[in-house]
Amino acid sequence: MANDRAADFIERREIAGWSDADQAELDAWLAESFGNRSAYWRLEHGWRAADRISALGSTTEWSGDDDLQDLRVAAPGRRRMIFAMAACLAVVVATGSFVALRDPSGPAAEMADAAPVSATRFATPVGGKRVVPLDDGSRVEINTASVVRTAITASKRDVWLDRGEAYFEVAHLAGRPFVVHAGSRTVTVLGTKFSVRRDGEKVTVSVVEGRVRVTDVKLGTQSAAVISAGDMVVAQGASTLLTQKSEERVRDALSWRSGMLNFDQSPLPGVAAEFNRYNRRQIVVTGAEASRRRIGGAFPAADPEGFARLLGEAYGLHVQENADAIIISD
């Protein structure tokens, strides 16, 4: 049954060792039918809610963002009990009488950013890229280490960018708005090709074609900024920065679509951070001189070793490599 298979996937995800192959197996199963997706998302939603209830009642001291720590260390009997609670909550959700549980410490934007349990989830690993055709004729190209959820209905089209970056080619359909939810911002499409990048609560929107409206969900329409081809918006907190007619910046921001990273005299630590988005082997920059170095040019995103060698040859910087890192220093 779909519920049993969904339960198996959810339990496997909560233990160490979940791999790209496991994610591919899950994605393929979800793509088989709406029934599979519905079973998985109902049960996954119940699992998270049950876990939050458990966490609120636990005497364990928590650290970081890992809301699932107690499930991984729980005894098998306790894990089964929590899983049963998750299933019960999933049934309540399915009947439409679920009362939302809200973490009092979480921002209001998290609630506005929540997708319905029927949304379809797409994810990419570090260094991965994926093209997803949507039922409405639109197309989403998902960048490295990103998570996107979609809910396409007869009346509207919603996408949630939970993490990372995605490029959208939106089919124009009168009366069916296309809205991207990214943290505290919504991006409403007015007929366009554009990208949205989310780094925590920092959201960057780059428009290639057409127009979009970027709105702060807390402030409403009074905060809306309409931008068109060649424009970029960088939004964080209550601030929204608009750079108009920056076609070259937009082109550089979207160079990842061809596997490249473009920089225009950018500080080396920031360049390293961009490479690190695409590679498990991380670039580490140390030393005042190396940190002040500015970089311009185009480089393959998947070749941090080649980039580091060029720096060593061009600027005399010291490059040291080990299994996990490439260290660039004075």
Please check whether residue 109 lies inside any domain of the structure. no
pTM for the whole structure: 0.63
Q: Are both 275 and 323 inside the same structural domain?
A: yes
Please write the tens of the pLDDT for every residue from 7-53: 777 777 766 567 777 777 887 777 777 567 666 766 665 555 444 44
In a domain, 282, yes or no: yes
Residues 274, 223, single domain; the answer is no
Asked if the model's pLDDT at residue 4 lies above 60, the reply is yes
CATH number at residue 245: 2.60.120.1440
Same domain, 133 and 88: no
**In a shared domain, residues 26 and 98:** yes
pLDDT in tens, 251-306: 999 999 999 999 989 999 999 999 999 999 999 999 999 999 999 999 999 999 99
User: Do 187 and 265 fall within a single domain?
Assistant: no
Q: Is 155 helix (H, G, I), strand (E, B) or coil?
A: coil
211 by Cβ neighbours in 10 Å (0-12 / 13-18 / 19+) ranks as middle
Whether residue 100 sits in one domain with residue 42: yes
E-strand ranges in the chain read 120-123, 130-133, 139-142, 147-152, 157-169, 178-182, 185-199, 202-216, 225-228, 232-236, 239-243, 260-267, 282-285, 294-300, 318-321, 325-329
Claim to verify: residue 217 and residue 306 sit in the same structural domain: no
Instruction: Tell me whether residue 322 is in a domain.
Output: yes
In a domain, residue 325? The reply is: yes
Closest CA to 120 of 251, 241, 27, 189: 27
Residues 92 and 184 in one domain: no
- Identify whether the C-beta of residue 242 lies closer than 8 Å to the C-beta of residue 250: no
- The upper half-sphere exposure of residue 176, i.e. CA atoms within 13 Å in the direction of its Cβ, equals 16
Q: How many domains does the chain have?
A: 3
Residues 27 and 90 in one domain: yes
Does residue 213 form part of some domain?
yes
Task: Identify whether residues 178 and 238 lie together within a single domain.
Answer: yes
β-bridge mates for residue 150, sequence order: 120, 159
Q: Is residue 83 part of a domain?
A: yes
**Pair (247, 269) in one structural domain:** no
- Which domain does 197 fall in, by range? 120-252
In a domain, 161, yes or no: yes
Single out the residue in 217, 234, 252 at which a domain terminates: 252
For the chain, the straight-line distance linking the first and the last C-alpha, in angstroms and rounded, comes to 60
CATH of the domain at 294: 3.55.50.30
Q: What is the pLDDT of residues 72-130, one digit of tens each?
A: 334 344 445 445 545 454 444 333 333 333 333 333 344 345 666 568 999 999 999 99
Instruction: Kindly state whether residues 199 and 270 are assigned to the same domain.
Output: no
Residue 273 lies in a domain: yes
